[in-house]
Amino acid sequence: MFNTKSKVLVVDDMSTMRKIISKILKELEFTDISEAVDGEDAWMKALEANPPFDLIISDWNMPNCSGLDFLKRVRAHDKLKKTPFLLVTAESEQQQVLEAVSSGVDQYIVKPFSKESLKQKLEIAYKRVAKRIGA
What is the domain extent for residue 85? 7-129
Phi, psi of 105 (to 5 degrees): -65, 145
% residues pLDDT > 70 (the chain): 99
Residue 135 confidence class, pLDDT cut points 50, 70, 90: low
User: How many domains in the chain?
Assistant: 1
The predicted structure's pLDDT at residue 54? 96
Per residue in 24-58, pLDDT (tens digit) is: 999 999 999 999 999 999 999 999 999 999 999 99
The predicted structure's pLDDT at residue 41? 98
The predicted structure's pLDDT at residue 92? 73
pTM: 0.95
Pick from 2-16, 78-92, 121-135 the range whose average pLDDT is largest.
2-16
- 70 in a structural domain: yes
- 134 in a structural domain: no
Residue 132 confidence class, pLDDT cut points 50, 70, 90: confident
- 1 in a structural domain: no
Candidates 85, 39, 44; CA nearest to 64 is: 39
- 50 in a structural domain: yes
**Residue 58 contacts residue 67 (beta carbons within 8 Å):** yes
- 124 in a structural domain: yes
The predicted structure's pLDDT at residue 97? 84
- Which comes out higher in pLDDT, residue 132 or 36? 36
d(C-alpha 97, C-alpha 53), whole Å: 24
Query: What is the CB-side half-sphere exposure of residue 48 using CA atoms within 13 A?
Result: 9
The predicted structure's pLDDT at residue 90? 84
- 109 in a structural domain: yes
CATH number of domain containing 81: 3.40.50.2300
For residue 88, pLDDT over 80 is answered with yes
Sheet of 32-36: strands edge to edge? 32-36, 7-11, 55-59, 85-89, 107-110
d(C-alpha 17, C-alpha 14), whole Å: 5
- 2 in a structural domain: no
- 83 in a structural domain: yes
